[in-house]
C-alpha cells in the first residue's frame, strides 16, 4: 500500500480507544479483554480498515482484531474507526512475523485481503501465505484453522492455493470471479473497491485445516 506520511501518527495511535499497545500481555487471554467467549476473527494487513470495521458493525457477536504493520496506515484506519463505539473491535500495530507472541490457540478465523504479492522469487517468504507464516498461524488457532483470502493477483492466488495444500489445508470454497458469483454479504476492502472498479477479477478462497 502506498504510504503517505500521516502527521501525529504516534499521537493518533497512542490515543485510540481501539489500539492495544501491549498486545503480548494478552497472549492466550484475548477472551478476557473482550469480556466474552465469542469467536475471535483477525485480519492481517488490514490497511485502512474498511473490511474489519464493516465486519465489526455487521457482526456484533464476533470479536474482530485488525493487524497492520505501518504506523501511517493504521493511523488512517484509526481516524475512520475512532468515530464508532464498538465493543467487538481491537487494533494492533505490529508485524505479523511476531504473531505467535500475541496469540496462543484462541483465534477462530484469519482474513488475508489483497496481501502484498511480493512477486520476486527471492521475496517469496514474505508473502503472508508462505510456509513461514502458515507454520506460525498453526499456533494461533483455537481448533480448526480457517483462512479466507481475497486478491486480484493471480500469481499470489495460485501460489497460496499450493501453499495451503502443502500445509495440510483443504479448499472449502473458491471463486475465480467473486463479484460475478453468488456470494452473499461480501464486505469490500479498500483495494477490492479500487481494483473491481477497474474491472479486475477478484479471486477468493476459503481454506480449512481440521484439528
Ligand X SMILES: C[S@@+](CC[C@H](N)C(=O)[O-])C[C@H]1O[C@@H](n2cnc3c(N)ncnc32)[C@H](O)[C@@H]1O
Active site residues: 116
With CB under 6 A as the contact rule, which of the stretches 16-24, 65-73, 138-146, 177-185 interacts with ligand X? 65-73
Q: Would you count residue 23 as binding ligand X (CB under 6 A)?
A: no
CA of 96: how far to CAs of 42, 43, 61, 100, 163, in Å? 11, 10, 25, 9, 18
β strands within 152-202, DSSP E? 170-175
β strands within 96-164, DSSP E? 109-113, 145-151
The DSSP output letter for 108 is S
Residues 92-131 that bind ligand X (CB under 6 A): 95-97, 113-116
Contact 43, 51 (CB under 8 A): yes
Looking at the DSSP bridge assignments, the partners of residue 174 are 205
**Of 15, 12, 13, 45, which is closest to residue 115 (Cα–Cα)?**
45
Q: How far is the CB of 55 from ligand X (least distance, A)?
A: 12
Q: Which of 191, 203, 205, 207 binds ligand X (CB under 6 A)?
A: 191
Q: Which of 12, 13, 40, 44 binds ligand X (CB under 6 A)?
A: 44
Write out the three cell numbers for 24: 503480548
Q: How far is the CB of 133 from ligand X (least distance, A)?
A: 8
Q: How far is the CB of 23 from ligand X (least distance, A)?
A: 12
Other C-beta atoms lying within 10 Å of the C-beta of residue 181: 13
With CB under 6 A as the contact rule, which of the stretches 38-46, 154-162, 166-174, 197-205 interacts with ligand X? 38-46
Residues 137-176 that bind ligand X (CB under 6 A): none
Q: Which of 40, 67, 134, 149 binds ligand X (CB under 6 A)?
A: 67
Q: How far is the CB of 49 from ligand X (least distance, A)?
A: 8
With CB under 6 A as the contact rule, which of the stretches 9-17, 55-63, 165-173, 189-197 interacts with ligand X? 189-197
Q: In terms of C-beta distances under 8 Å and separation of at least 24 residues, what long-range contacts does 66-69 make, across chains too?
A: 66/42, 66/90, 66/91, 66/92, 67/42, 67/43, 67/91, 67/92, 67/94, 67/96, 67/99, 68/92, 68/93, 69/45, 69/93, 69/94, 69/95, 69/96
Q: Which of 16, 65, 68, 207 binds ligand X (CB under 6 A)?
A: 68
Q: Would you count residue 73 as binding ligand X (CB under 6 A)?
A: yes
Q: How far is the CB of 60 from ligand X (least distance, A)?
A: 22
Residues contacting ligand X: total by CB under 6 A: 21
Q: Which residues of this chain interact with ligand X, rule CB under 6 A?
A: 1, 44-47, 67-70, 73, 95-97, 113-116, 189-192
Amino acid at each position: 500500500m502506498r504510504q503517505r506520511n500521516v502527521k501525529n501518527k504516534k499521537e493518533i495511535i497512542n490515543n485510540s480507544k481501539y489500539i492495544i499497545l501491549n498486545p503480548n500481555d494478552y497472549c492466550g487471554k484475548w477472551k478476557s479483554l473482550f469480556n466474552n467467549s465469542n469467536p475471535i476473527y483477525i485480519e492481517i494487513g488490514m490497511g485502512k480498515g474498511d473490511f474489519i470495521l464493516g465486519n465489526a458493525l455487521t457482526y456484533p457477536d464476533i470479536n474482530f482484531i485488525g493487524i497492520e504493520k505501518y504506523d501511517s496506515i493504521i493511523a488512517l484506519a484509526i481516524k475512520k474507526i475512532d468515530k464508532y463505539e464498538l465493543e467487538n473491535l481491537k487494533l494492533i500495530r505490529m508485524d505479523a512475523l511476531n504473531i505467535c507472541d500475541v496469540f496462543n490457540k484462541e483465534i477462530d478465523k484469519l482474513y488475508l485481503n489483497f496481501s502484498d504479492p511480493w512477486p520476486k522469487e527471492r521475496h517469496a517468504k514474505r508473502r503472508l501465505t508462505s510456509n513461514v507464516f502458515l507454520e506460525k498461524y498453526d499456533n494461533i488457532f483455537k481448533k480448526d484453522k480457517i483462512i479466507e483470502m481475497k486478491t486480484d493477483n493471480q500469481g499470489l492466488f495460485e501460489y497460496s492455493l499450493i501453499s495451503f495444500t502443502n500445509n495440510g489445508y483443504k479448499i472449502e470454497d473458491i471463486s475465480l470471479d467473486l463479484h460475478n458469483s453468488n456470494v452473499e454479504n461480501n464486505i469490500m476492502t479498500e483495494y477490492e473497491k479500487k481494483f473491481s472498479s477497474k474491472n479486475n477479477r477478484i479471486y477468493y478462497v476459503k481454506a480449512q485445516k481440521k484439528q
